[in-house]
Amino acid sequence: MKQMIQKDDAVSPVIGVMLMLVVTIIIAAVVSSFAGGLAGDTQKAPQASLVAKEVVVNEAYDVVKTNGNGGANFDPNPVPGKAADIYVIFEHKGGDGINLHDIEVHLGSLKYPSEKSMISNAKEPNANKTFVGEKVNIAGFSKDWKQYLQGFPDRESLISPGSQFALHADYAREGIETRGGTHDNELESFRKISWRPDGASNSFDIGVGDYLTYDIIDKKSRKSISSGQILVPDFQVRNS
């Protein structure tokens, strides 16, 4: 008769299951730690709804003089004009509070997408009196403004839901220019609002009837907080 020999050197099924659980827990801990580290390194932008609600032009004084032929040229020795009470009002409709020193406003033109500018309180407003005159003499809200972004109408830097802030413009101008893309050099009139911080090589201009586009960026995370566009309404420009 043959004798059956039973071997007991195999791993117990219970021990095998326990080993698998231990390995799974270790892997989960490593993955969780790694993911937590990545999340800690990623800065989040404030969550807020910031909407442009109005372009205000209470006074606009031009420094461009029109010659007898209908053309427009900058006077080489212009008389400093009065700076204008011009600004865009933004409303904080909800979300996190915003510090105006912690944001940048990237401006653009819907009609001319290549035209862009970046404005923040880190930039110095245009102090060249050739364009904007004495800021202390500006009427209305813009009187003696020194920073592009200010709480409206309290001029505070911390903006909470339900409050507003203003983006000042440097000046406005009007004149006649050659219409691009024509064969007869046809002239057309224009009225524009302009931003030109100190040190900027060119101004950023947005004309009547165009849409001013904006993208509000959080400086720390470099992420967009809010974006949109607003129509530039018609306005009058005076020479004195």
All structural domains of the chain with their residue ranges: 50-231
Which residues contact residue 50 at a Cβ distance below 8 angstroms, ignoring those fewer than 6 apart?
Answer: 90, 91, 92, 93, 98, 216, 225, 226
First to last CA, the chain: 126
Please give the Cα distance from 143 to 203 (Å, whole number).
Answer: 22
Q: pLDDT tens digit string along 41-90?
A: 467 889 999 999 999 998 777 655 444 344 444 445 544 456 678 999 99
Please give the Cα distance from 86 to 55 (Å, whole number).
Answer: 8
Please give the Cα distance from 153 to 143 (Å, whole number).
Answer: 12
**Tokens 């009225």 map to which residue?**
191
Please give the Cα distance from 192 to 234 (Å, whole number).
Answer: 9
Q: pLDDT tens digit string along 2-54?
A: 555 555 555 567 676 677 777 778 777 766 665 555 455 467 889 999 999 99
Average pLDDT over residues 152-171: 95
> Do 225 and 217 meet the contact criterion of CB atoms below 8 Å apart?
yes
Indicate the helix (H) or strand (E) that contains 31: helix 13-41
Looking at residue 11, its pLDDT comes to 54
Looking at residue 237, its pLDDT comes to 80
**Tokens 């800690």 map to which residue?**
40
